[in-house]
Amino acid sequence: MNLDGGSQAAEPLLSSALHSIRQRIAAACARAGRNESEVTLVAVSKTVAAERVQEAIAAGLTVFGENRVQEAEAKIAQLAPQNAQIEWHLIGHLQSNKARKAVALFDAVQSVDDEALAERLNRIAAEIGKRLPVFIEVHLGNEDSKAGVAPGEALPLIEKVSKLSSLELKGLMTVPPFLENVEEVRPFFRQLRELRDEALRTGIAGTAFTQLSMGMSHDFEVAIEEGATLVRIGTALFGARA
Ligand SMILES: *Cc1c(COP(=O)(O)O)cnc(C)c1O
């Protein structure tokens, strides 16, 4: 026991937070008749110091989400050498002038939302001999956010991105509005799933287009009930961001 207090006292114990999140994921999967192995927990480590990310790795987490290229660059440089098995996903908006850095750094980019950006990522990935996993971010009812392609333009973008040979199109991502009552978020998650299913049915994206990255600390259980295959969780795991 740490009797002299210290700065760590105020932080929730990461391993117990993780345990409780995993239980909630399992319960949501059970309610939906899904297998837990279908859901990947992406630990959102934006603003979290590298030391604490290392703790999360020690607790068993393997996939991390960052929303800024610059911040991720420093963290990955510090952590990657001793943690080769860890995956880093970019989940925030990508400016085209940071595309080159992003392709080199990340194992997946979840925030592709226009054709020009996709083509740029494809060109750079081809140059450095990498096949980059990507998700298309769809804008669903979130007035505060400009990120993401409009739902009506998603299918044509999916079709175009699926033809770029140095990108591996995995699926869709969304950040719906924050609504106190999570039941009100459910229709947005359902809408993302229906978009994926339509792309699969019409064959425009190939059969590997299966992933749905949706659900955050506040609403991940509903997202899982609606088919999420990746949930992106920050505050429930690491505590409130400064
Ligand atoms: C910050 C962030 C998250 C995590 O949010 P929490 O509410 O802290 O779980 C997930 N996805 C994106 C795109 C984010 O920017």
pLDDT at 5: 41
Which band of pLDDT confidence, cut at 50, 70 and 90, is reported for residue 11?
low
Q: What angle do CA 179, 181, 186 make, to 5 degrees?
A: 80
Instruction: Report if residue 4 sits inside a domain.
Output: no
Judge whether residue 129 has pLDDT over 50. Answer: yes
DSSP code string of 121-177? HHHHHHHTT--EEEEEEE--S-TT---SB-HHHHHHHHHHHTT-TTEEEEEEEE-PP
Residue whose Cα lies nearest atom 11 of ligand 1: it is 232
Cα separation values, 104 from 65, 117, 124, 136, 167, Å:
15, 15, 9, 19, 13
Residues lining ligand 1, judged by CB closer than 6 Å? Answer: 44, 46, 67, 91-92, 175, 216-218, 232-236
pLDDT at 189: 98
pLDDT at 28: 98
DSSP summary character for residue 198? H
Instruction: Report if residue 66 sits inside a domain.
Output: yes
Instruction: Report if residue 210 sits inside a domain.
Output: yes
Instruction: Report if residue 2 sits inside a domain.
Output: no
Q: What is the token pair recorded at 127?
A: 């140059």
The alpha carbon of 53 and the centre of ligand 1 are apart by a number of angstroms equal to: 15
pLDDT at 146: 78
pLDDT tens per residue, range 135-181? 999 999 867 677 999 999 999 999 999 999 999 999 999 999 999 99
Instruction: Report if residue 135 sits inside a domain.
Output: yes
Judge whether residue 9 has pLDDT over 50. Answer: no
pLDDT tens per residue, range 13-69? 899 999 999 999 999 999 999 999 999 999 999 999 999 999 999 999 999 999 999
Give the position, in ligand 1's atom list, of the atom nearest the Cα of 42.
10
CA dihedral 152, 158, 164, 167 (to 10 degrees): 120
pLDDT at 207: 85
Average pLDDT over residues 69-78: 97
Side-chain-side CA neighbours of residue 31 (13 Å): 13
Contacts of 58 (CB under 8 A, 6+ apart): none
Q: Ligand 1 test: best mutation among 91, 93, 220, 224, most atoms within 8 Å of CB?
A: 91
d(CA 28, CA 223): 9
Enumerate the β-bridge partners of residue 121.
Answer: none
Judge whether residue 72 has pLDDT over 80. Answer: yes
d(CA 164, CA 151): 21
Give the position, in ligand 1's atom list, of the atom nearest the Cα of 220.
9
pLDDT tens per residue, range 84-112? 999 999 999 999 999 999 999 999 999 99
pLDDT at 12: 54
Single out the residue of 224, 145, 220, 146 nearest to residue 177, CA to CA. Answer: 145
Judge whether residue 2 has pLDDT over 70. Answer: no
Judge whether residue 73 has pLDDT over 50. Answer: yes
Instruction: Report if residue 156 sits inside a domain.
Output: yes
pLDDT tens per residue, range 202-241? 999 988 999 999 999 999 999 999 999 999 999 999 999 8
d(CA 179, CA 167): 33
Instruction: Report if residue 3 sits inside a domain.
Output: no
Give the position, in ligand 1's atom list, of the atom nearest the Cα of 91.
13
pLDDT tens per residue, range 176-199? 999 999 999 999 999 999 999 999
CATH code of residue 159: 3.20.20.10
Contacts of 72 (CB under 8 A, 6+ apart): 66, 88, 90, 105, 106
Instruction: Report if residue 124 sits inside a domain.
Output: yes
Average pLDDT over residues 121-140: 98
Q: Ligand 1 test: best mutation among 47, 67, 230, most atoms within 8 Å of CB?
A: 67
Cα separation values, 174 from 38, 144, 184, 211, Å:
18, 13, 15, 12
Q: Ligand 1 test: best mutation among 18, 42, 44, 182, most atoms within 8 Å of CB?
A: 44
Single out the residue of 136, 146, 148 nearest to residue 196, CA to CA. Answer: 136
d(CA 135, CA 111): 6
Supply the pTM of this predicted model.
0.94
The alpha carbon of 153 and the centre of ligand 1 are apart by a number of angstroms equal to: 24
Contacts of 171 (CB under 8 A, 6+ apart): 135, 136, 196, 209, 210, 211, 212, 213, 229
Its domain, for residue 195, covers 10-238
Domain count, the chain: 1
Helix count and strand count (H, E) for the chain: 9, 8
Judge whether residue 4 has pLDDT over 90. Answer: no
Q: What is the token pair recorded at 99?
A: 């595309």
